[in-house]
Homo-oligomer: A and B are copies of this chain.
């Protein structure tokens, strides 16, 4: 099985058990205004926050009339959920592109995930803001819960499998447990890096963030990771 094919299969497996329908059931003629509303909603959330994102604000940005939200989404809440779905798709598309390009061995998949999540395509002000806003609004819009859950589960499956791949080679007897622990360690670090970036994007040093993550990885698994992992990131 070729490298690319293996990675694609891997991704599909991760997505299978997420339970989220990522398909869009709109016909082309409807897509213009519908998509404009989603785009405007995301832009508004990013710019002024979900609290201040009102129906009036959204339709003004989208340049459509008041009734469009009711026609396409039957209400504001469904529009917010659709915007969350679009943001999640955006995240996965970027990540998938990185994973498919990387070699299938665990260490390279992990490396690709980190470099994606800290690189200029995966880690942007827009993405961190929309993600944080939507996560914070889970309480107000329970339907949003599935999106953060899905992302967490996807990343966890991906990293646990990758680390298991590595620990299997090391012959470590507690490999399964170690893989789960390392997965949590790395994912929590990435989570924290996203917070740091969102709060202080101007001071955030991507290369240093990557270096820190790889230093931890190199400490625990010196044969599989080293500080050169962070080097790739500037490419």
Contact = CB atoms under 8 A, between A and B. Distances in A.
Given A148-B199, A181-B208, A188-B189, A136 B139 contact: no
Q: How many copies make up the complex?
A: 2
A62 interface: no
A187 interface: yes
B140 A49 contact: yes
A30 interface: no
A48 B140 contact: yes
A16 to B, nearest CB: 21
Interface residues of A, number: 39
A138 B48 CA distance: 10
11 contacts: A51-B140, A132-B136, A136-B137, A149-B199, A185-B216, A187-B192, A188-B188, A188-B212, A189-B192, A190-B192, A191-B195
